[in-house]
Structure 1
Amino acid sequence: MRNLEFKDQMHEYALWRAKVVQAIEMYHQWRIRYGMNDPHSTNTILNAISNLQTDRITLAFVAEFSRGKTELINALFFAETGVRLLPSTAGRTTMSPTELFYDEEGGSYIRLLNIESRLEDISLAELKQQPQRWTQFKLDSNSPGQMQEAFKELCATKMVDRQVADKLGLWNDRLAAEQGVVNPEKVEIPCWRHALISFPHPLLQQGLCILDTPGLNALGTEPELTLNMLPSAQAIVFVLAADTGVTKSDMDMWMNHVCLTRGGNKQGLAVVMNKIDAMWDDLAGERGYQDAINSQIKTAAATLKLDEAAIFPVSAKQALLGKVKNDNAVLEKSRLAALEQYLSRDILNQRRTILMGSLVRDIGFLVNESSSITELAMTNAGKQLEEFKKIDFENHDMTAKLMAETRDRQQLYMANIENFQASRRVFSVQAKMLIDSFSKEKIDPIIRSTRTDMAKSLTTFGMKQNMRKLFDDLRDLLQDSIDITNETRRLVKAIHKKFKDEYGFKEIEPPLFSIKPYQVELEQVFAEGEAFRLSAKTTMTEQSLVIHKLYSTLIAKARNVLRQAHADAISWSNGVLTPLMHQIKDHKKQIESRMQLLRKINDSKGSVAEKIALLEAEIDPLKRQKDELAMMIRAMQLDAVVKERA
């Protein structure tokens, strides 16, 4: 599959996203038009729209130095520029992690973060929100040559004192000794810690984001890459060199940085066996060449414990040459097509499935609620029509009796309102307990006090014990929240059941707040923290640097998980009783409509047939309302959700 087809797939994916966004916006207007809107549902819908509009497909490329990773990125995405856009020639190794995307507001630029920022107690994610902290160069997207020149800065290095390199985590005595370097005064280090590149390439405009990570040393010294950025990527492409196979450092990266980020899940994980052209042997011929490639794939699959189908033999050099020269024979020889097909078909489909899953989770309940209430209104209107058809409206006593019954229903409605308000007051108390269990007032003191204790520790052992205590305290805090969550869930179920049993409301199963997703995320953070705590590197690293790394990555991540739980608990508690409120409002509307109809019929001088026609006309708006909703449910592709819960 050629790059043009991948571009087409991305374009089709972007169009699909835009259509779903349009359908959700129409659904929002529908809720407003028919009086089903409320602040919680508006917020939920607008968030869903924002998530779709800002969605990016992130492909992360991971490899040890000299595996041809950047050349592969050039071949896959930027060959039509006619140049080797990103620096990937010998002696031009990318030194800093690089993100490529399109920032419509910011335009075309390359932003570079100085390496010394590692010493600051601020995360990379926070630094991205401070453009003034970055060195910025403008890019001319119409001049590949100018961009090519600007990108050479990604390889920039400088000489610093060995002590400075050590503080920055860029010096390793053991590795240096292995290379015959002992106690040098000056050490060569990268100038830049991280690079952000934005320009209007068609694929980047469609929402593609590329993460290019340097070798093992960068991953080891930038924990945010492994802990935050790689896990959020839709796919990780791990690049090996066919002529060397899986080396010790490759295996280290695979086990500690690639597999760890996927949590054991191999979905969205591909291995590229690059530089297959180096295996060509004129004497062995095509058969020997293929056998050599198959042998390396088989060995790599066994070593990495991966299916052979997930390993793609490629020559990035031939692929780039074939595309630039428009030489199909060379391009075919590169075997890039299978990898492009995997990226365009499997990864985009996986992302679409994930987005639909998020959509079902975010607004599936609202759509189902709308469908249930609309269906109920239609059913009640139909029953009322059948009831009225059998009544002699010439009998004024009968009409008066019906009007009296309707007034009794109004009294019952007032009781509904009082009971609902009482139930909501009880729920508010319980919901506050749930929300407070995740509040920063509970979390921050634990994190602050542990940091103080760690800094005071005189030994590495003492520091590690405090680290362990922090994880245990956060785990205990979460356990308290689990108990409160279970009690809150029981209360919500009881309130919904009460209104179903006592007032005949349709039972619309409310979405129940679940703490499990946050529990799973935190346990993963704790597992990563335990590995960090027990690692030999932590023992050998200067104490203040260890604390900084821990707090700028793992603890920041744990705090974000709990912050998200807090925000989600607030959102859920604001909306979980909304279906009851909507049914009460709808019940009121039905009573008022019934009373109005009875008055019209009573005052009408027309025939019985004319009165029946008047009743039937009242159902037409409900039919239109139902048909409009059905059309929007199809456009949002949520038909299955409504059928499942019908």
Structure 2
Amino acid sequence: MSFNQEFDQHGVWRKQFALRLKLLSEWLTDHDLMESGVRERLDQLHAQVKNDKIMVAFVAEFSRGKSELINAVFFAGYGRRIMPASAGRTTMCPTELGYDAEVPPCLRLLPIETRLQPQSLLDWRNALDKWERVDLDVNDPRQLARAIQKVAEVRRVTQSEAAALGFWHEEVPEDNPLPGADGLIEVPKWRHALINMAHPLLKQGLVILDTPGLNAIGAEPELTVSLLPQAHAVVFILAADTGVTKSDLTIWRQHLAVLGEGRESRLVVLNKIDTMWDALSSPEQVQLQIASQRTDSAEILGMSPSQVLAVSAQKGLLAKVHRDKKLLAASNLMELETALGVDLLGQRRQILGAAVAKGIQALRTETGRMVHTRARDLVEQIQELEGLRGKNAGVIKQMRLRIEQEQADFDASGAKIQAVRSVHLRLLKDLFAMLSSSHLKAEVATLGKALKQPGIKLGVRRAYDHTFDRLRADMSKADRMAGDIQSMLEGSFKNLNAEYGFSLQAPSPPRLAQYLKDLDLIEKSHLQYLSLGNALRLAQPEFAERLARALMSRLRVVYDTAVNEVELWNKSAAAQLDAQLRERRRNFSRRIEAVSRIQQAAGGLDERIRELQEHQSELNQLESKLAELTDHLLAAPEEEPSDEALVA
């Protein structure tokens, strides 16, 4: 299947999953099983699937046909180009295409002058009133293309302004753009662009990142250390006739090869193979030339030859618009789409499926525990009432007094249960402090000072090493603290189970050690800027400031994610204890009510036992229905029965 077809199927699965989750939620509510811990799990699962995004980043030097490739793969359905793809420089600023249902279709543009201010790109995302907004009519391809053309706009500034903005460096003149006859330098008018539109693929969670050439990438460290590492697939475009040029190799080495693991999600595209279709050469000779370029490019970039694909984006777009199957096959565009669909979506669905399966299993366990507790209480009540057969009123009265005394003893034991909560919360407080924003800022402060010091930063590599060593040590310590809390919970729950007949089970602890890998990737993405080739750029105060802000933004995301995992774990443990306390109190009330009815009516005993047995049967059905509903959440769309059958 093509990328579009694979992604469409992925979207169908996500949509159906959300519907089935809603049905499960309603069923749990109807059967009084919607405890706070269960609700927390449901909310997490819903957010996990609803907010799952797949980002594909397209990276290339200017004039490699990058925007044309985006048009061919994603926007051919409009019957024309949507992204600007004329000769020469087109996309001048990083451009993200995505969909947010709460925002009307629009293009937002962040002025390039914001680089002169201290806020990070992440901060500017939350200040949308500072962006210029252009409304889009997604049903009018011509208006849409005309509006998006703004991402190609430029400004002409003095050399000093260009230097302040990061586009001119006296120390590396060979990298500077050529001044015009008036001595002015051409720079992008916009720093970043966000396009929000209801394209079918974007609505299903696809995010497309279109990046400009080397000079613009290097001037925006947040792009390299934040956005590109988050991309699930990176498509690096070369020109088929030239292969890997010097500037291509610089982009690859400085901004892509350093992204760490996941090289299998990188695809290299040799674009414009139609320039090699030579009437004086046979088709076989042309294919041999293309194959040679693929092999050479793979060797230079250190990639597997299977990850280097040769296509013609322009002919592929033309073929799709005119429904020319022969030209589409010659363009090899579908080979690229298949690679994206099978590799990228296959990996992403596997990761999401594993996370969802884990959440559903936890949900099933927590809900099943409540059903089990109710079933056990019913058995005890039936046995208790069976023992009253043939007994006189005095014995029944004694039983009521005994139940009331048990209830009083249980209520008096609240201090012991509260002590468990207090110890748990005290230990959690220390763990949250270790992962807090203030602690993170303190750990990164020394590195921040080293980055902001004027001139060549000789000790900054050492500052990076020390900072990330401390961050890794902190995260490892936090993981050990979580393990200690888990041990305390397991011991406390075991004692409460033995003393009060609970069925408490400590939830799975957060795996904070997994965030060590994220810290390694962040450090690796930053080390590219510490090479000798970047020493002069790093010496510029404005650039170093942007790099420091980008670092803090990325670290904050990792720490916030870790904190969210700890909070879910904490809420799950607390909700479980609350649920069992509530069930035990309900059980006392039901037992007293049953004895009262028996005292008031001679036939009340048999009637109450029959009622309890009916409840037993209902609970057995609940268990099997819960298993059916949760199994169904994991089923593939084509295998699923109708929703009507589910809620029957």
Query: TM-score per shorter chain, which class?
Result: 0.7 to 0.9
Query: CA separation of 1:348/1:597 partners in 2, compared to 1, >3 Å: closer, same or farther?
Result: farther
Moved more, 479-488 or 237-246: 479-488
Q: What pairs with 1:496-645 in structure 2 (closer than 5 Å)?
A: 496-601=493-598, 603-606=600-603, 612-637=609-634
Of 426, 429, 454, the residue aligned with 2:426 is 429
Does structure 1 residue 24 correspond to structure 2 residue 21?
Answer: yes
Q: Output the amino acid matched with 2:250.
A: D
1:166 corresponds to: 163
Query: CA separation of 1:480/1:56 partners in 2, compared to 1, >3 Å: closer, same or farther?
Result: closer
For residues 80-128 of structure 1, the C-alpha deviation after alignment (integer angstroms, 9 at most, x for no partner) is 2222221212124221111112333332222222222122211112212
In structure 1, C-alpha distance between the alignment counterparts of 2:194 and 2:84, rounded to whole Å: 15
SS at match of 2:107: strand
TM-score when scaled to structure 1? 0.87
**How many residues of Structure 1 are paired with residues of Structure 2 in the alignment?**
635
Of 94, 114, 118, the residue aligned with 1:117 is 114
In structure 2, C-alpha distance between the alignment counterparts of 1:273 and 1:393, rounded to whole Å: 90
In structure 1, C-alpha distance between the alignment counterparts of 2:379 and 2:430, rounded to whole Å: 44
Q: What pairs with 1:68-217 in structure 2 (closer than 5 Å)?
A: 68-172=65-169, 176-177=173-174, 185-217=183-215
Query: CA separation of 1:257/1:500 partners in 2, compared to 1, >3 Å: closer, same or farther?
Result: farther
SS at match of 1:460: coil
Q: Output the amino acid matched with 1:218.
A: A
1:338 corresponds to: 335
For residues 418-468 of structure 1, the C-alpha deviation after alignment (integer angstroms, 9 at most, x for no partner) is 322111111121111111222333333454566457545676325665555
Aligned CA-pair RMSD: 3.4
Aligned-pair CA distance for 1:337 = 1.6
Q: Output the amino acid matched with 1:219.
A: I
In structure 1, C-alpha distance between the alignment counterparts of 2:32 and 2:361, rounded to whole Å: 19
SS at match of 1:193: strand
Moved more, 137-146 or 320-329: 137-146
1:249 corresponds to: 247
Is the 1:406–1:594 contact (alpha carbons within 8 Å) kept by the matching residues of 2?
yes
* Structure 1: 5+ residue stretches without partners: 640-646
Aligned-pair CA distance for 1:632 = 2.8
For residues 209-237 of structure 1, the C-alpha deviation after alignment (integer angstroms, 9 at most, x for no partner) is 21111122222221222222222223222
Does structure 1 residue 289 correspond to structure 2 residue 286?
Answer: yes
In structure 2, C-alpha distance between the alignment counterparts of 1:306 and 1:141, rounded to whole Å: 38
Moved more, 405-414 or 117-126: 405-414
2:229 corresponds to: 231
SS at match of 1:211: strand
Aligned-pair CA distance for 1:638 = 8.8
* Structure 2: 5+ residue stretches without partners: 637-648
Query: CA separation of 1:610/1:21 partners in 2, compared to 1, >3 Å: closer, same or farther?
Result: same
Query: CA separation of 1:121/1:470 partners in 2, compared to 1, >3 Å: closer, same or farther?
Result: farther
Is the 1:112–1:194 contact (alpha carbons within 8 Å) kept by the matching residues of 2?
yes
Aligned-pair CA distance for 1:330 = 0.9
Q: What pairs with 1:290-439 in structure 2 (closer than 5 Å)?
A: 290-360=287-357, 362=359, 364-382=361-379, 385=382, 392-393=389-390, 406-407=403-404, 409-410=406-407, 413-414=410-411, 417-439=414-436
Is the 2:507–2:569 contact (alpha carbons within 8 Å) kept by the matching residues of 1?
no
Is the 2:452–2:545 contact (alpha carbons within 8 Å) kept by the matching residues of 1?
no
Is the 1:274–1:314 contact (alpha carbons within 8 Å) kept by the matching residues of 2?
yes
In structure 2, C-alpha distance between the alignment counterparts of 1:264 and 1:31, rounded to whole Å: 41
SS at match of 1:461: coil
TM-score when scaled to structure 2? 0.87
Aligned-pair CA distance for 1:315 = 1.2
Q: Output the amino acid matched with 2:113.
A: E
Query: CA separation of 1:638/1:593 partners in 2, compared to 1, >3 Å: closer, same or farther?
Result: farther
In structure 1, C-alpha distance between the alignment counterparts of 2:342 and 2:565, rounded to whole Å: 33
SS at match of 1:188: strand
In structure 1, C-alpha distance between the alignment counterparts of 2:319 and 2:635, rounded to whole Å: 44
In structure 1, C-alpha distance between the alignment counterparts of 2:534 and 2:360, rounded to whole Å: 46
Query: CA separation of 1:199/1:537 partners in 2, compared to 1, >3 Å: closer, same or farther?
Result: same
Is the 1:170–1:189 contact (alpha carbons within 8 Å) kept by the matching residues of 2?
yes
SS at match of 1:219: helix
In structure 2, C-alpha distance between the alignment counterparts of 1:503 and 1:609, rounded to whole Å: 28
In structure 2, C-alpha distance between the alignment counterparts of 1:156 and 1:164, rounded to whole Å: 17
In structure 1, C-alpha distance between the alignment counterparts of 2:394 and 2:633, rounded to whole Å: 50
Is the 1:63–1:238 contact (alpha carbons within 8 Å) kept by the matching residues of 2?
yes
For residues 525-559 of structure 1, the C-alpha deviation after alignment (integer angstroms, 9 at most, x for no partner) is 23334443444313444442243122221122223
In structure 2, C-alpha distance between the alignment counterparts of 1:574 and 1:28, rounded to whole Å: 18
Moved more, 469-478 or 423-432: 469-478
Q: Output the amino acid matched with 2:208.
A: I
In structure 1, C-alpha distance between the alignment counterparts of 2:531 and 2:409, rounded to whole Å: 65
